[in-house]
Amino acid sequence: MYEHTFIEVCAGCGGLSSGLISAGMKPILLNDNNKNCCETLKLNHKNVKIKCCSMYNIKFKKYKDLDLLIGGVPCQSFSFAGMKKGLNDDRGILILQFAEIVNTIKPKMFMIENVRGLVSHNKGKTLKKIIKKLNENKLYNIKFKIINAVHYDVPQKRERVIIVGVLRKFNVEFNFPKKSNNVISIESALSNVPKSKGTKYSDAKKELFKLIPQGGCWINLPKDKQKEYLGKSYNSGGGKRGILRRLSMNEPSLTLLCSPTQKQTERCHPIKTRPLTIREYARIQTFPDDYEFVGSVSSQYKQIGNAVPVKLAYKLGKSIVKCLTKINVMNYDK
């Protein structure tokens, strides 16, 4: 049986690679430039080559027979929550470097995961420029789609854009995985979660959260406390519904970010007056309970918050395997 191979750059702590491995694929190289991410990868992906450096420093030419090149290329440059500098940011330029690698080794397929803001950034011109660069040799059929992890057995509302390219010469179409009707709530996801470390609230913030019901936020506070906590931003307009946000047990989680205690994007436990813990974060991102993370508590939150949910990666992986199987049958059984 042919074993489908992949390389992942900007691999983070391994959410995407874990899902692809579960789908039956074999990693031949995982790359990230963050030391803690690399140590997490080494701990959980034994006997896999891990390169802890910039993707600029890797000689990719020797991987020309690759099935799949993937990358969760840094996405803050295109985020609605960020400054949206796009390709003018060093992190944004990495997506163009990914395109250079594609054009160098010409894998059978490639896939990029990024924030949905990439689609609308600069009125869509940024995405067009990226796709043009990815396909500068006119070798690929490329499609993209905004998908929400909540539709793929992930207990979290998390929208991302997925860009997939398949070499034209194989005349095989990639189909995105079908949505699941199974919506998973936080209550189900957090059942019997192993104990773990987590950040804490100040006593003052605890008192505020005691006044907020499940699914609520700062607007549930008395007016005087709203004004005191928000200060000048009270009159700044906008919903600001991420501030002092308590999650709801009977709904999926909101998108997990790099910390559960950022003022604009709080992620308070639905019942307990505390932030979500490390293992709760991991559960919501669908990492197995035996998947270990390396580094400080803040580093672990960041690694998990930046990851592709494992079950979403698995569903994408199964669709990729179907596509590659068709390609390899055509290529080797003629």
Q: What is the pLDDT of residues 136-145, one digit of tens each?
A: 889 999 999 9
How many domains is the chain partitioned into structurally? Answer: 2
Per-residue pLDDT, 98 = 92
Per-residue pLDDT, 86 = 43
Report whether pLDDT(90) > 60. Answer: no
Same domain? 117 vs 233: no
Same domain? 70 vs 23: yes
Long-range contact set of residues 263-267: C-beta below 8 Å, sequence gap at least 24: 264/81, 264/240, 265/81, 266/217, 266/242
Distance from C-alpha of 69 to C-alpha of 17, rounded to nearest angstrom: 11
Report whether pLDDT(77) > 60. Answer: no
Residues contacting 33, CB < 8 A, separation 6+: 52, 53, 54, 55
| Per-residue pLDDT tens digits for 26-44 | 999 999 999 999 999 999 9
CATH number of the domain at 37, please. 3.40.50.150
Report whether pLDDT(1) > 60. Answer: no
CATH number of the domain at 250, please. 3.90.120.10
Average pLDDT rounded to a whole number, residues 161-178: 97
How many Cβ atoms sit within 10 Å of the Cβ of residue 223? 9
Sign of CA dihedral 267, 273, 279, 280: negative
62-71, 87-96, 234-243, 274-283: range with lowest mean pLDDT: 87-96
Per-residue pLDDT, 78 = 46
Average pLDDT rounded to a whole number, residues 186-209: 96
Q: Which two tokens stand for residue 127?
A: 């995405």
Give the pairing type, strands 5-9 and 159-167: unpaired
Report whether pLDDT(93) > 80. Answer: no
Same domain? 171 vs 234: no
Same domain? 202 vs 137: no
Q: Which two tokens stand for residue 81?
A: 């929550």
How many residues does the structure list for the chain? 334
Helix (H) or strand (E) holding 308: none
Give the pairing type, strands 109-115 and 68-71: parallel
Same domain? 170 vs 196: no
Q: What percentage of residues in the chain have a pLDDT greater than 90? A: 76
Same domain? 238 vs 300: yes
Distance from C-alpha of 311 to C-alpha of 184, rounded to nearest angstrom: 12
Contact at 8 Å (CB) between 109 and 323?
yes
Same domain? 57 vs 15: yes
Range of the domain at 123: 5-181+309-332
- Among residues 10, 37, 75, 323, the one annotated as catalytic is 75
Per-residue pLDDT, 95 = 84
Per-residue pLDDT, 136 = 87
Per-residue pLDDT, 332 = 55
Task: Label residue 124 by pLDDT band (50, 70, 90).
Answer: confident
Q: Which two tokens stand for residue 55?
A: 């993707």
If one compares 125 and 271, the residue with the highest pLDDT of the two is: 271
Contact at 8 Å (CB) between 259 and 283?
no
Calculated CA dihedral for residues 140, 69, 133, 54, nearest 10 degrees: -170
| Per-residue pLDDT tens digits for 107-122 | 999 999 998 888 988 8
Per-residue pLDDT, 80 = 40
If one compares 86 and 256, the residue with the highest pLDDT of the two is: 256
Same domain? 99 vs 68: yes
Same domain? 10 vs 137: yes
Model pTM score = 0.92
| Per-residue pLDDT tens digits for 278-289 | 999 999 999 999
Helix (H) or strand (E) holding 9: strand 5-9
Amino acid found at 76: Q
Q: What percentage of residues in the chain have a pLDDT greater than 70? A: 93
Same domain? 170 vs 315: yes
Per-residue pLDDT, 81 = 44
SS3 call for 260? coil
Per-residue pLDDT, 44 = 98
Per-residue pLDDT, 279 = 98
Same domain? 154 vs 69: yes
SS3 call for 310? helix
Per-residue pLDDT, 82 = 44
Distance from C-alpha of 51 to C-alpha of 33, rounded to nearest angstrom: 8
Same domain? 245 vs 274: yes
- 75 catalytic per annotation: yes
